Amino acid sequence: MKTPARLNLLSPTAPLLLGLIVTLAAVVGYSWYVSGQISGLQRLQADLTDRNRMASLQLLRIQSDLNRLALAMRDMLAEDDRSSIASWQGQFDRIRVDLDDALRREAQVSVVARSDEETQALHLAVSQVWDTADRAFELARAGRHDEARMHIQARLQPRIGELSTAVGRLLLENNETEARAAQRAQDIYRDVQAQVYWFLSAALFAIAGTSLYLIYSNQRLFARLASLAEQRRELARTLITTRESTLREIARELHDEFGQLLTAIGAMLRRAERQAPEASPLRSELREIGEIAQTALDNVRGLSQTLHPSILDELGLESAIEWYLSTAGKQLGVEVSYVRTNPAVPVDAVVAIHVYRVLQEALSNVARHSGARVARVTLRFDPGALVLEVADEGRGIDRGGRRGLGLVAMRERAELLGGSIDFSEPVGGGTIVRLRIPLPESGGKPAAAQATA
């Protein structure tokens, strides 16, 4: 069998953890950036909207004051009593106070970027309006009514018209500024939206890449684990098969070679004993040596049966189990009860030896670990399956303790035969070892047994 190259199992945990940290950092950083952009945009919109609204209100107020001036001049010029021009000065002064306040407030809240020349021109136009109005009222108070009326018509009305036109232009600029601010907000929203789409695309790409890497890593890991598991099964199959073959050879050598040798020695001692004089001390020594040889022969045969019971090959599994249980009680110090249900089915020798070894290991565990002095063995031949159960009422399975090689070997033997083995604890305590091996209806070899054979 070829020895596969050593597998280097690299865990994908570190790359995946690094990818997770980078992704989370990107999400947090970009979320902070987008939140800042949106918050700044909201503040900008709120500020521009409020200031534009207040500036528009002040400009409308200025226009209203100018309209009031225009109406006042129309009514003033329409009156027949020329001396009444001076009486309009109080209303002009009130409009002047309100107009100056509106201009001051509009300058404070205006978002329109005006040059110094434009600001000075606006203030100059306002100043000229009031200077012209003051001059007209001076002429009226001096009794020069016709000249005052001409001054109002020729100079004051055009200046108010020019100022009204300038205010209307400011109102238009303010509206245009508001429209540009709205457009700027829309542009920022579009930029943020595009950035969000790009970020989502990058995040999805990163997630897809991480997922593909995880899938690829898992596939490699599972493939390597499957290869290792197959190698482990093959190694276990080889070791168990080699062990059984070695034990069979040793048992045969002990039974045939040493057994025959000890049998021959015993026969020679008996012949020598018969040839010795009746009262000779040699005869008693030869008899004692013969007894020792017989004891050695019995021990060798017992060891041979323990290593590989010949009865298993000669009479089958059921007879081997009955013979083993008849001697296991004395050897292990455990009282064993045995029950077989359903008619026995012929079992292949490979299956039989594995079932026999599981029984040996299970009873050995009862004697060494459970603390019980009674064990129950059940052999059941179900349709298409052989079931062996070994139960005791001892301490049960130590789940937190170290598992011995015996349990591992029992599992390996079950897997080699394509079966299963369970270790359970009944409600009353103790342990039940249940081995289930599939058998063909004809009683032939299971596929795993054929491969092992």
Q: How many folded domains does the chain comprise?
A: 2
Q: Sorting pLDDT into bands at 50, 70 and 90, what band is 388?
A: very high
- Does 435 have pLDDT greater than 90? yes
181 in a structural domain:
yes
Residue 321 sits in the same domain as residue 207? no
Residue 178 sits in the same domain as residue 318? no
Residue 156 sits in the same domain as residue 39? yes
167 in a structural domain:
yes
Q: In 333-394, which ranges are E strands?
A: 335-341, 374-382, 385-392
Residue 56 sits in the same domain as residue 184? yes
Q: Sorting pLDDT into bands at 50, 70 and 90, what band is 81?
A: low
Q: Sorting pLDDT into bands at 50, 70 and 90, what band is 365?
A: confident
- Does 410 have pLDDT greater than 80? yes
Q: How many CA atoms lie within 13 A of 407 on its CB side?
A: 16
The Cα 82–Cα 101 span in angstroms is 31
What average pLDDT does the segment 416-441 reach? 85
Residue 38 sits in the same domain as residue 183? yes
193-219 confidence digits (pLDDT tens): 787 788 778 877 877 777 787 788 778
Mapping DSSP onto H, E and C, the string for 33-88 reads HHHHHHHHHHHHHHHHHHHHHHHHHHHHHHHHHHHHHHHHHHHHHHCCCHHHHHHH
String of b and e for 410-448 (b: at least 16 CB within 10 Å)?
bbbbbebbebebebeeeeeebbbbbbbbbbeeeeebbeb
Which one is predicted more confidently, 404 or 97?
97
Residue 315 sits in the same domain as residue 209? no
Residue 353 sits in the same domain as residue 208? no
Chain mean pLDDT for the chain: 77
Q: Which of 173, 188, 213 is the last residue of a domain?
A: 213
* Reported pTM: 0.50
Q: Which of 156, 181, 213 is the last residue of a domain?
A: 213
Residue 35 sits in the same domain as residue 184? yes
Q: Which of 184, 213, 242 is the last residue of a domain?
A: 213
Query: In which domain, by residue range, is 402 found?
Result: 309-452
Hunting for tokens 């002040």 — which residue is that? 58
424 in a structural domain:
yes
Amino acid residing at 435:
L
Q: Any idea how long the chain is?
A: 453
Residue 169 sits in the same domain as residue 26? yes
State the helix-helix crossing angle for 349-365 and 405-416, rounded to 10 degrees.
160
The Cα 382–Cα 90 span in angstroms is 123
252 in a structural domain:
no
Which pLDDT score, from 0 to 100, does residue 443 have?
A: 44
Residue 316 sits in the same domain as residue 205? no
133 in a structural domain:
yes
294 in a structural domain:
no
Distances (CA, A) of 369 to 290, 408, 429: 40, 16, 14
126-172 confidence digits (pLDDT tens): 888 888 888 888 887 877 877 877 888 888 888 888 888 878 887 78
The Cα 438–Cα 419 span in angstroms is 6
235 in a structural domain:
no
CATH of the domain at 175: 1.20.1330
By mean pLDDT, which of 1-5, 131-135, 266-270, 278-282 is the weakest? 1-5
The Cα 130–Cα 148 span in angstroms is 14
Residue 176 sits in the same domain as residue 315? no
18 in a structural domain:
yes
The Cα 147–Cα 166 span in angstroms is 28
Residue 322 sits in the same domain as residue 202? no
Determine whether 342 is exposed, middle or buried from the number of CB atoms within 10 Å of its CB (0-12, 13-18, 19+): exposed
The Cα 20–Cα 210 span in angstroms is 9
CATH of the domain at 385: 3.30.565.10
224-238 confidence digits (pLDDT tens): 888 887 887 777 777
